[in-house]
Structure 1
């Protein structure tokens, strides 16, 4: 009889460890995906040294992008008749925005506090999603509340600044 009890406890321990490992991997993958999605535009906004910066006056918007002339601010930057910016809640037709050029393209991203916060919104969503996994799958409610609060604060700050 003692071997059956030990075997059951061992199986329970292995299953519990497997669940924790799987949920930890899922939470980590969600957070990595959020950082990856955010960094695709955040790198241009946060690491501006040596990059062309200027302003864009949005003259027209399509379904996915807006266009307008680019006026340089930084030394060595060249004026362009038409650059492209993502059409989002952060861009309105007829407005002027400070932007940073993506190297080797005609695309620009918003700069300044609004651009930084907006570029990190995918991480905020990932924090919210991962908090559910951390609370339910890992049983770490305090850590989940911290993650959810951070994600909510990031998204709210981006919404208020934009």
Structure 2
């Protein structure tokens, strides 16, 4: 009986940890795909002229010659993005939503996965009793979140 409880605890904990990691990846992928696969998207810079709440907006300056399809864009606000900043961005297809590119944009896109790694490490340590795997998972999440913070605050 005791081994059945132990096995079921580990199975449930593994399923929960996997669910957390899949949800973190899915939440990150919505933005990360635009940062990773930039070909065929409109590139340029945004000059932020307003930041309020969780969004910033400004004028879009395309990198390539041609008609400007999106003169004004908005983007999610994070640390380091202030009024007057000029940031490299890529435009999401068929929207006026910009996504920051470069190292800062890459790490910012993966912030939800970093949080999911930290949460999953607690489940792995407590429910599955795999301390080494929990330290590796939590360390990966901490490194990812630290890299995001460091690149966004530069």
2:107 aligns with 117
Work out whether 1:100 is the aligned partner of 2:100.
no
Mapped to 1, the partners of 2:37 and 2:100 lie a distance apart of 13
What TM-score comes out, normalization by structure 1 length?
A: 0.89
Work out whether 1:43 is the aligned partner of 2:5.
no
Aligned pairs for 1:6-155 (under 5 A) are 11-74=1-64, 78=68, 80-155=70-145
Higher relative contact order (CA 8 A, sep 6+): 2
Gaps of 5+ in 1: 1-10
CA contact (8 A) 1:67 1:84 kept: yes
What TM-score comes out, normalization by structure 2 length?
A: 0.93
Secondary structure in structure 1 of the residue aligned to 2:40: coil
Secondary structure in structure 2 of the residue aligned to 1:88: coil
Number of residues paired by the alignment?
152
Gaps of 5+ in 2: none
Q: CA RMSD in A?
A: 1.4
